[in-house]
Amino acid sequence: MTTLPLGQQTLGQSGTAVRSGAAHVSSARDHDGLATVLELPLIEPDFSDHVVSPPWVQSRNWWILLVVSGAVALVFLSLVGYSVVAGIGVWGSQIPVAWAFPIVSFVWWIGIGHAGTFISAFLILLNQRWRGSINRLAEAMTLFALVNAGIFPLLHLGRQWYAFWLIPYPATTDVWPQFKSTLPWDVAAISTYFTISVLFWYLGLIPDLATARDRSPGLLRRRVYGLFALGWRGTARQWRHHRAAYIMLAGLATPLVISVHSTVSLDFAIAQLPGWHSTIFPPYFVVGAIYSGLAMVIVLTLPVRRWLRLEQVITDRHLDGLAKLMLVTGLMLLYSYAIEQFIAWYSADQFERYQYLTARLSGPYAPVFWAMTIGNLLSPQLFWSARMRRSKPALIIVSLIVLVSMWAERFVIIVASLNRGFLPSSWKLFIPTWVDWGILGGSFGLFLFLFLLFLRFVPTVAMSEVRRLAYDMETEGDAAGSSARARTATGASHALPAPAGPDAYGPARGEA
């Protein structure tokens, strides 16, 4: 046994080299008394069968939730219908606050969607294999958030039956969309984003749909899943093309997701209005989007993990990773807030200064501004602590605070800016009507309804990816330090030199 390098001595008990399995566990504790998260296995490779079975949840709670969320979704659809029939004057929007709740919700829901694409596309390009257990869930969240997000701007057109005017079809009137405006950009960005998200999701699903086909109990299910599985047989040739196409879609979706919220931010940034006319908007919006989306992923993952008993594949490593990502994006948001305020002051423009330094800090919507600032900037700081990153109550509470605060942020940007424009004589307070509140609340019903259907009918965990991950951990893992158990079995210890081979799970602490 060689002498431990200096940095590793604190890990072992009293600085001695550790040999036995029991001592190994104690050596893997940090100052919080918890096992260092990178010591934990990414997933438990010998996960039980239900984890990689098609879901087919049979539960009374599922039905209760489905009925409740379905009822809320019906309220949402009725209010959407009411807004179409009666006209959008039933909302609180007016002049100068022509954009209010629906646009706030649109920006917020689009942002929620971003985390799903972030997890599935960014992380696969970065070879972060931990995404495998949660990407399906996160991508489904993206799709359903986009369904909601798509309804709002369409509704906001006022005369929704002319929505097809946004498409450049050859009309006898010779009138085309005005492509120098940001609004047709929005149409292109959102519809592309939704389409690509569906394609990406579906391509990843094909092998799992084949599993569902092969394990379905009834003929009808076999046929339905079989139809969607397209006749997938998992041959080496098919996998080769699947891999290539999947990476291509990931490579396309990654810049796409950045472009989408950038486009959304340009709706504002291209206008002259103080509070909107800012060059930091595109990155600021993208960061905020991923931040709020990660919060939604946590809010959805924790109950689903418990409900479908997925603890073996959605482990503390995943929670820890999500919390860290939230902390990072939260810090980037802090930077954006600071720069926004600073530039407003530095511009020496009286309208900018008034908007940022007076109206927001002490104007009529100041409580919303302070809620957003405190909620978004302070709450994720909890995640500096490893204990908090794995505490379920902390994760849920912080995520809910972040979701509300991010909605508040969009409210501040949109409503507080419009409310105090250049001309004080046209300042007018915005007060939401019951229809505004109903549509906002109802959109959650639709979202939950669709998500519950997803849990029931679609493989929730990317089965083929989890199987591949388990295989990789088996072949590289017992040497690569991803599984404490495997190492204990072979009697290896921290003092042994770090083994060769790919180390996608991150090095164990003692082997760094």
CB of 423 to another protein, least distance (A): 20
CB of 47 to another protein, least distance (A): 12
Number of residues that bind another protein (CB under 8 A): 63
Judged by CB under 8 A, which of 91, 108, 109, 232 binds another protein? 232
Residue 413 lies near another protein (rule: CB under 8 A): no
CB-nearer residue toward another protein: 450 or 470: 470
- Look at residues 189, 187, 114, 193 and name the one whose alpha carbon lies nearest to residue 153: 187
CB of 29 to another protein, least distance (A): 34
Distance of alpha carbon 356 from alpha carbon 342, whole angstroms: 9
CB of 284 to another protein, least distance (A): 17
The total of other beta-carbon atoms located within 10 Å of residue 500's CB is: 9
Of 28-36, 232-240, 318-326, 367-375: span binding another protein (CB under 8 A): 232-240
Judged by CB under 8 A, which of 245, 366, 378, 400 binds another protein? 245
Distance of alpha carbon 65 from alpha carbon 470, whole angstroms: 33
CB-nearer residue toward another protein: 31 or 180: 180
Bond preceding residue 96 cis, omega within 30 of 0: yes
Binding mask 204-223 for another protein (x = CB under 8 A): ---x--xx-xxx--------
Residue 279 lies near another protein (rule: CB under 8 A): no
Judged by CB under 8 A, which of 81, 87, 168, 491 binds another protein? 168
CB-nearer residue toward another protein: 306 or 468: 468
Token pair for 238:
């098919």
CB-nearer residue toward another protein: 212 or 386: 212
Q: Are residues 443 and 105 in contact, defined by beta-carbon separation less than 8 angstroms?
A: yes
Q: Are residues 43 and 313 in contact, defined by beta-carbon separation less than 8 angstroms?
A: yes
Residue 458 lies near another protein (rule: CB under 8 A): no
Give the C-alpha distances (Å, rounded to integers) separating 80 from 88, 145, 373: 10, 17, 31
Give the C-alpha distances (Å, rounded to integers) separating 134 from 109, 196, 279, 300: 19, 19, 34, 10
Judged by CB under 8 A, which of 176, 346, 422, 437 binds another protein? 176
Residue 500 lies near another protein (rule: CB under 8 A): no
CB-nearer residue toward another protein: 64 or 230: 230
Q: Are residues 471 and 463 in contact, defined by beta-carbon separation less than 8 angstroms?
A: no
Residue 384 lies near another protein (rule: CB under 8 A): no
CB of 382 to another protein, least distance (A): 37
Residue 240 lies near another protein (rule: CB under 8 A): yes
CB-nearer residue toward another protein: 10 or 195: 195
Residue 68 lies near another protein (rule: CB under 8 A): no
Give the C-alpha distances (Å, rounded to integers) separating 177 from 1, 153, 160, 166, 253: 74, 16, 15, 6, 26
CB of 185 to another protein, least distance (A): 4
Judged by CB under 8 A, which of 142, 148, 263, 482 binds another protein? 263
Which 8-state DSSP code applies to residue 4? P
Token pair for 477:
């893992």
Distance of alpha carbon 258 from alpha carbon 184, whole angstroms: 17
Distance of alpha carbon 446 from alpha carbon 452, whole angstroms: 10
Residue 385 lies near another protein (rule: CB under 8 A): no
Residue 297 lies near another protein (rule: CB under 8 A): no
CB of 52 to another protein, least distance (A): 8
Distance of alpha carbon 18 from alpha carbon 497, whole angstroms: 13
At 340, the amino acid letter reads E
Could you give the 3-state DSSP secondary structure of residue 35?
A: strand
Distance of alpha carbon 335 from alpha carbon 114, whole angstroms: 20
Which 8-state DSSP code applies to residue 511? G
CB-nearer residue toward another protein: 207 or 380: 207
Of 153-161, 336-344, 469-477, 488-496: span binding another protein (CB under 8 A): 469-477
CB-nearer residue toward another protein: 67 or 244: 244
Residue 336 lies near another protein (rule: CB under 8 A): no
Distance of alpha carbon 109 from alpha carbon 116, whole angstroms: 12
The total of other beta-carbon atoms located within 10 Å of residue 260's CB is: 30
Tokens 């079975």 locate to 53
Judged by CB under 8 A, which of 32, 48, 64, 233 binds another protein? 233
Chain positions 18 to 57 lying near another protein, rule: CB under 8 A, are 52
CB of 396 to another protein, least distance (A): 33
Distance of alpha carbon 217 from alpha carbon 212, whole angstroms: 9
Residue 475 lies near another protein (rule: CB under 8 A): yes
At 60, the amino acid letter reads R
Residue 304 lies near another protein (rule: CB under 8 A): no
Judged by CB under 8 A, which of 65, 66, 266, 396 binds another protein? 266
Give the C-alpha distances (Å, rounded to integers) separating 437 from 75, 96, 115, 483: 11, 20, 25, 49
CB-nearer residue toward another protein: 137 or 256: 256
Task: Provide CB contacts within 8 A for 197, sequence distance 6+.
Answer: 113, 116, 117, 139, 142, 143, 146, 253
At 384, the amino acid letter reads W
Can you give the binding site for another protein, defined by CB under 8 A? 52, 168, 174-181, 184-185, 188-189, 192, 195-196, 199-200, 202-203, 207, 210-211, 213-215, 226-227, 230-246, 248-249, 252-253, 255-256, 259, 263, 266, 463-465, 467-468, 471-472, 475
